Chains A and B, each alone.
Chain A
Amino acid sequence: MRNMTILVVDDDPVIRRMLEKRLEKEGYEVLIAEDGYQAKKIFPQQHIDVVLTDLIMPGSIGGIEVLDIAKKINPTIEVILITAHSSVDTAVEAMKKGAADYLEKPINFDELFLRLEKIANLQSIMRNAMDLSQAMDTTESAAAVTIQNLEIRNAELQGRLNAIETILRDKQSPPYDQVDKVLDLLAAENNIIIYPQ
């Protein structure tokens, strides 16, 4: 499984350092932002799988705004909010806006790792499904070209058979003329245009 890249957004340097250390130890790639403004700058520059953000930070970009920015840049980014017990209601609101989960302070790391693992599994299933549908699209479009060519060619040949039948059933026409006309129609075989692939 590919390692996930996690962006940690928190104004508290102690929590930042602790999260960075523990997450790196677990094998995650970690990016750090000191507040919402820094996070906003990082989003367009880096591939991020998960954002771990404090709900309440100084300035006008809090956790909810980080969530909005992340989802706007790439809806597949999952956001986990870190919240004090007193702001659980806000965190639940955030879940309605698309946050994957929230964690109450103080952070229980076992709980955090469990949730990250769940997100990793889900993303891997998603990628797998995308790969499969990509493969299906490729197979389907290749098959479509073949089938469409056959369909058109079949209709063309059917039309020619009908024309030959009409010529041969024409009792008025001398047999040599009929043969000539039929041969002309058959010679046209070489002119069937197959659409280029």
Chain B
Amino acid sequence: MLKISPDELKLVAQYIHDISGIYLDQSKSYLFETRLSSIVSEYDFKSFKELYQKAKTESDKIIERKIIDAISTNETLFYRDKGPFELLQHKLLPELIDARTPGSPALKTNIKIWSAASSTGQELYSIAITLKELLPDFSRYTIKLLGTDISDGAVAQASRGKYNKFEMERGLPGDKLQRYFTMFGDSWTIKDEIRAMVQFRKLNLMLPFADLGKFDIIFCRNVAIYFTLPDRQKLFNKIADSLADDGYLIIGSTESLTGICPLFVPKRYLRSIFYQKK
């Protein structure tokens, strides 16, 4: 495998931060070498400097996209830790529906949920399944479920909604698997009724995202951990702007907003914490 020099490490780390916000520990050079090795051999680059220069100057940004795909972590599961989904089902959605249901039965209830680092889609599909099971009369609601991720590869896989057995093994209860997926060979594909509820697109959380509008619930789990402290502060300030005044924010179960964003106050429900604006 091609080795990365200390100078190249600095250059590439800075470049990756610029294009994605992801901060990689420069003491772990093997991380750069292993994750980028397939791009190096595909283009037959002789050094990481060459990779950097090509990626930076090419107009179609193909190498840049490949670097983001290779560097971003896609560890995700259906119902990755159960807490947030219990929270959604038993507390957030019932409260939200009470608050949002208009006086006139002729009007629809609007609900907007955003999975801010949707990876390969498991989180948003889990949310969609939770909604489907909770709301018997679907036609009375206008529901927008948006998933965004910085990786084109992850967005493409999320949109296909097709998962192999390794991706399915943990997390998903058997009855949900049978009900919402079609199995073929070793792969499972999400059924159209669920897929039709969601939408995925590419988004770099370091860039402005106010044009997405305001959301009632934002899931931003286990992505800020890859950012520097100043970048985390900026991110959660922007998220506060994108959240309805009575909306809910859910972050990863081992994440904290202490010292990062004073705009939110944590609240507890059973084994989970959620945040609301002060």
Contacts and interface: CB of A to CB of B under 8 A. Distances in A.
Nearest to A98: B185
B268 A75 contact: no
Interface string A141-174: 1011001101110110000000000000000000
Interface residues of A, number: 23
Interface-central residue, B165, B255, B257, B273, by most chain A CB under 10 Å = B273
B43 interface: no
Given A140-B81, A151-B273, A195-B268, A96 B256 contact: no
A140 B254 contact: yes
Interface residues of B, number: 21
Contacts of B81: 137, 140-141, 144
A147 B165 contact: no
Nearest to A126: B166
Interface string B82-114: 010000000000000000000000000000000
B54 to A, nearest CB: 33
A75 B170 contact: no
A148 B258 CA distance: 11
Interface string A75-91: 11000000000000000
A148 B273 contact: yes
Given A141-B81, A195-B268, A154 B186 contact: no
Given A133-B170, A137-B81, A141-B253, 10 more contacts: A71-B186, A75-B165, A129-B166, A130-B170, A143-B253, A148-B253, A151-B257, A152-B268, A154-B258, A155-B265
Interface of A: 71, 75-76, 96-98, 126, 129-130, 133, 137, 140-141, 143-144, 147-148, 150-152, 154-155, 195
29 contacts: A71-B186, A75-B165, A75-B168, A75-B169, A75-B186, A76-B165, A97-B185, A98-B186, A126-B166, A129-B166, A130-B170, A140-B81, A141-B253, A143-B253, A144-B81, A144-B253, A147-B253, A147-B255, A147-B256, A148-B253, A148-B266, A148-B268, A148-B273, A150-B256, A150-B258, A151-B257, A151-B258, A151-B273, A155-B266
